[in-house]
Amino acid sequence: MGAEPQYDVVVIGAGFGGLYAVHRFGEQGLDVLGLEQADDVGGVWYWNRYPGARCDCESYYYSYAFDDGLQQDWNWSLRYSEQPEILSYLKHVADRFDLRRRYRFGARVAAAHFDESLGGWRLRTTDGFETTTRSLVTAMGCLSQVNWPDIPGLRDFQGRLFHTAQWPHDPVDFRGRRVGVIGTGASAVQAIPRIAEQAEHLTVFQRTANWVLPAWNRPTDPDFDAWVKANYAEIRARCLASGGAVPFDPPEQSALEVSDAAREAAYQAFWDQGGMRFFSAFTDLFSDERANRTAQDFVRAHILRTVRDPATAQRLIPNDHPIGVKRPPLDDDYYETFNRPNVTLVDVRSAPIREVAGHVLRTADAAYDLDDLVVATGFDAITGALLAIDVRGRGGVRLADRWAEGPKSYLGLGIAGFPNLFTVTGPLSPSVLANMPTAVEQHVDWIADCLEHMRTRGVATVEATETAEAAWVAESDAAVAHTLYPKADGSWYFGANIPGKPRRFGVYVGGFAAYRERCLEVAQRGYEGFRLGAGPNG
Ligand code: NAP
C-alpha cells in the first residue's frame, strides 16, 4: 500500500467559510488543517479596514446559524455592522470553538497538485511548508484577490498610497491632506464620506457612476434584537427558502402592472427601509428593462434632488447599466458628500487617468497634486484567488488552462479532472448573490456530508464528471441569459473588470433555495454527476 496523505482535509482560508469548514470537519472527527495567509482569522474582514468598511447585509442574518448558543450570546451594536465588529465576531468564533489550534497562519498556498498515486493533494506554501491531504477545500472568498490597476507610475506615487483591500492596521489620519480616491464601487462609496469628513480636499476619480442605495445604518433596536433572538429558527429557515438567502418577503407584483402612484409609493417604502430590500419591490426588476427603468427613474430623481451642483449630479447618474445588475453599493450620505466644498468629482471616463508621477495624478486633460492616493479598484473576483495558486489536477493539467475560456464547475463545488477538490462558494454557485454566511454554511455542510460518505463507504476520490460539469455550465449560462445582468458591460460578475480575463458570468442566478434543493438531490442520489473512485482496499 502507498503512503497515506498527512491530513484528511486541508482548508484554505480563515474567513466565514474557512472557519466554519475547519470547525465542522473537526467536529466530525476528521484530521483537518487550516492554512491562512494572514496572521489571524477574518478573511475579507481582516484585510478591508478602510474607513467606513461595513457589511451591506444586516448583521442579524449576516452571521452564522450553525450554533444557537453563538447566535443567542452575540450582540450586534449596529444594523449593518462595521468591519471592526465583524472581525471581533470572527475572532470570538475562533476562540469559542478553539479553531486557531487547527490553523497555520502566515501560510499562503503557492501550489496544489493532485497526486494520483497518493489519491490526494500535495500542497506547498510560499514560506516552504509542504503537506499532503486526501481532500482540499478552498474557502478563499470571492472578493479577495486584490486588483491594482495598471496605471503607469502608480506604485511609485510619492505620497501615501493605499488600497482599500490592503488597508493598514493602524488608523489613517487624513486631516489637512489632499486626498484622491480612484473608483466609485462599494468600497469607495463607503470610504468617500468618511475621508471627506477629515481631508482638506478630496478628489474622487470616477470612471463609471453606480446606482447607490441608502443603508440607513443605525444602532440595533433592543426590541428588534429580542424579537430576532426569539425567532432565529424561523429567520434562518426563511433565508434557506429564499432566492438570496435573506429573510425578506419575495415580491409579488410586476412594476408594470401597478399605477404610477402605487409604484412610486412602493419604491419609497422600500427606500425608507434601506438596503437591498429595494429590489424586493417588484418581481421583474432583474428581467424586464422597462420595469428596471422605473426603479432607475426613482433613484435618478433622488440624485437630482440631493446633489446641488447640476453638473455633478448628472455625472453621478449612471448611464451605462440597469440598476442592480452591477452590485449596488449602500451609502451613508454618499450623494450628500458631493455638496461639501472640499469634495470634487472628476470624470475619468471622458479624460482617462494617464499616469502618476511624484505627487501628481495626471488625466488626459488635467493634473492633480495629492498627498494621499486611495485605490478602490476592487478585486479579481470569483476565480482570482484560486488561479493565484498553481493548481494542477489529474495528469498535471493546470486549472488556469482548464479555465482558459472562463470558469467551469459542477454546482460550483467540484471541477472535472480535479478530484477531491471542493470550492466553497466557488464559481457558478449562488455565492455573491446570496447572503454569504448562509451560502458558506450550505456548501460546507454539503461537503462535510460528502466527506462522511467517502469515509463510511471507502470512497477514495470524488470527482465531477465532464458531462455533469458541462450541463451545469450550460444551465448557469442559460439562467443568466434570461436576466438583465448581461447589460452591465464591465461588471466583475463577468470578470470584465480585469483586462484579458475571459468573460463568463461567475455566479449561478437560479436562486439560492432552488440551488440548495438541487445540491441535496445530487447527494441523495449517491452524488449524481460525480464519479466516486474506490480506494486501494475498495
Ligand atoms: P469594484 O466594485 O470593482 O469597483 C472598482 C472601482 O474602481 C470601479 O468604480 C471601477 O470603475 C474603478 N476602477 C478600476 N480600475 C480603474 C482605473 N484604471 N481607472 C479608474 N477607475 C478604475 O470594487 P469594490 O468597490 O472594492 O467592490 C467590489 C465588491 O466587493 C462589491 O461589489 C461588493 O460585492 C464587495 N464589497 C462589499 C462590501 C460590503 O458588503 N459592505 C463593501 C465593499 C465591497 P469601472 O466601474 O469603470 O470599472
Q: Closest residue (by CA) to atom 22 of ligand 1? A: 183
Sheet with 360-363, strands from edge to edge, namely 353-357, 360-363, 367-369
Cβ of 50 below 6 Å from ligand 1: no
Instruction: Assess if residue 300 is contained within a domain.
Output: no
Q: What CATH number corresponds to the domain at position 477?
A: 3.50.50.60
Cα gap 112→132, rounded to integer Å = 9
For 56-84, the DSSP string reads: SS-TTTSS--S-HHHHHH---SBSS-BHH
Domain end (from 378, 393, 409): 378
Cα gap 483→510, rounded to integer Å = 10
Q: Are residues 201 and 341 in the same domain?
A: yes
> Cα dihedral sign for 223, 227, 232, 235?
negative
Task: Give the position, in ligand 1's atom list, of the atom nearest the Cα of 490.
Answer: 48
CA of 98 to the centre of ligand 1 (A): 35
CA 147 to chain centroid: 14
The count of domains in the chain is 2
Q: Which of 354, 497, 501, 507 to mutate to test ligand 1, by most ligand atoms within 8 A of the CB atom?
A: 497
Cα gap 264→249, rounded to integer Å = 19
Q: Are residues 364 and 441 in the same domain?
A: no
CA of 408 to the centre of ligand 1 (A): 24
79 — alpha (psi -120 to 50), left (phi > 0) or beta? Answer: alpha
Instruction: Assess if residue 273 is contained within a domain.
Output: no
Cα gap 109→348, rounded to integer Å = 37
> Cα dihedral sign for 525, 526, 527, 533?
negative
- Cell numbers representing residue 175 in the block: 486631516
Instruction: Name residues whose C-beta falls within 8 Å of residue 162's C-beta, 6 or more positions apart in sequence.
Output: 50, 168, 172, 372, 373, 374, 375
Cβ of 54 below 6 Å from ligand 1: yes
Domain end (from 315, 344, 378): 378
3-state secondary structure of 298: helix
| Predicted confidence pLDDT, tens digits, the chain (538 residues) | 468 999 999 999 999 999 999 999 999 999 999 999 999 999 999 999 999 999 999 999 999 999 999 999 999 999 999 999 999 999 999 999 999 999 999 999 999 999 999 999 999 999 999 999 999 999 999 999 999 999 999 999 999 999 999 999 999 999 999 999 999 999 999 999 999 999 999 999 999 999 999 999 999 999 999 999 999 999 999 999 999 999 999 999 999 999 999 999 999 999 999 999 999 999 999 999 999 999 999 999 999 999 999 999 999 999 999 999 999 999 879 999 999 999 999 999 999 999 999 999 999 999 999 999 999 999 999 999 999 999 999 999 999 999 999 999 999 999 999 999 999 999 999 999 999 999 999 999 999 999 999 999 999 999 999 999 999 999 999 999 999 999 997 899 999 999 999 999 999 999 999 999 999 999 999 999 999 998 654 4
**Domain limits at 81?**
7-145+381-533
Task: Give the position, in ligand 1's atom list, of the atom nearest the Cα of 208.
Answer: 47
Neighbours of 293 (CB within 10 A): 15
Cα gap 393→398, rounded to integer Å = 6
Q: Are residues 164 and 140 in the same domain?
A: no
Q: Are residues 499 and 511 in the same domain?
A: yes
- The pLDDT value recorded for residue 537 is 43
Cβ of 62 below 6 Å from ligand 1: no
- The pLDDT value recorded for residue 535 is 66
Q: Closest residue (by CA) to atom 26 of ligand 1? A: 378
Cα gap 361→20, rounded to integer Å = 43
- The pLDDT value recorded for residue 2 is 61
Instruction: Assess if residue 316 is contained within a domain.
Output: no
Q: Are residues 200 and 139 in the same domain?
A: no
Q: Are residues 152 and 185 in the same domain?
A: yes
Neighbours of 159 (CB within 10 A): 19
CA of 329 to the centre of ligand 1 (A): 9
Instruction: Assess if residue 518 is contained within a domain.
Output: yes
CA neighbor of 1 nearest in space, from 164, 109, 118, 172: 118
| Contact criterion met (CB below 8 Å) for 344 and 132 | no
Q: Are residues 204 and 340 in the same domain?
A: yes
CA 7 to chain centroid: 28
CA 2 to chain centroid: 40
Cβ of 133 below 6 Å from ligand 1: no
3-state secondary structure of 532: strand
Instruction: Assess if residue 73 is contained within a domain.
Output: yes
Q: Which of 143, 151, 494 to mutate to test ligand 1, by most ligand atoms within 8 A of the CB atom?
A: 143
Q: Are residues 64 and 29 in the same domain?
A: yes
3-state secondary structure of 202: strand
Instruction: Assess if residue 472 is contained within a domain.
Output: yes
Cα gap 445→17, rounded to integer Å = 11
Q: Are residues 197 and 333 in the same domain?
A: yes
336 — alpha (psi -120 to 50), left (phi > 0) or beta? Answer: alpha
CA neighbor of 468 nearest in space, from 421, 406, 527, 514: 527
- The pLDDT value recorded for residue 336 is 98
CA of 346 to the centre of ligand 1 (A): 16
Q: Are residues 70 and 179 in the same domain?
A: no
| Contact criterion met (CB below 8 Å) for 116 and 394 | yes
Q: Closest residue (by CA) to atom 18 of ligand 1? A: 149
Cα gap 281→375, rounded to integer Å = 34
Tell me the residue ranges of DSSP E strands in 99-138.
Answer: 103-105, 109-115, 120-125, 130-138
Instruction: Assess if residue 365 is contained within a domain.
Output: yes
Strand partners, 82: 54
CA of 370 to the centre of ligand 1 (A): 21
Task: Give the position, in ligand 1's atom list, of the atom nearest the Cα of 189.
Answer: 25
Q: Are residues 371 and 480 in the same domain?
A: no
Q: Are residues 199 and 332 in the same domain?
A: yes
Amino acid at 322: P
DSSP code, position 128: S
Question: Could you read off the pLDDT of 124-177 as tens digits, one per residue?
Answer: 999 999 999 999 999 999 999 999 999 999 999 999 999 999 999 999 999 999
Q: Closest residue (by CA) to atom 32 of ligand 1? A: 327
What φ, ψ does residue 525 adopt, rounded to 5°?
Answer: -90, 30
Q: Closest residue (by CA) to atom 14 of ligand 1? A: 377
3-state secondary structure of 445: helix
Domain end (from 312, 344, 378): 378
Q: Closest residue (by CA) to atom 34 of ligand 1? A: 327
Q: Are strands 201-206 and 178-182 parallel, antiparallel or unpaired?
A: parallel
| Contact criterion met (CB below 8 Å) for 134 and 9 | yes
CA of 266 to the centre of ligand 1 (A): 29
Cβ of 498 below 6 Å from ligand 1: no
CA of 377 to the centre of ligand 1 (A): 5
Residue-wise over 235-266: b if at least 16 C-beta within 10 A, else e? Answer: bbebbbebbbbbbbeebeebbeebeeeebeeb
Cβ of 348 below 6 Å from ligand 1: yes
CA of 373 to the centre of ligand 1 (A): 15
Question: How far is CA 445 from each of CA 216, 440, 441, 450, rounded to the nearest angstrom?
Answer: 34, 8, 6, 9
pTM summary value? 0.97
Instruction: Assess if residue 309 is contained within a domain.
Output: no
DSSP code, position 523: H
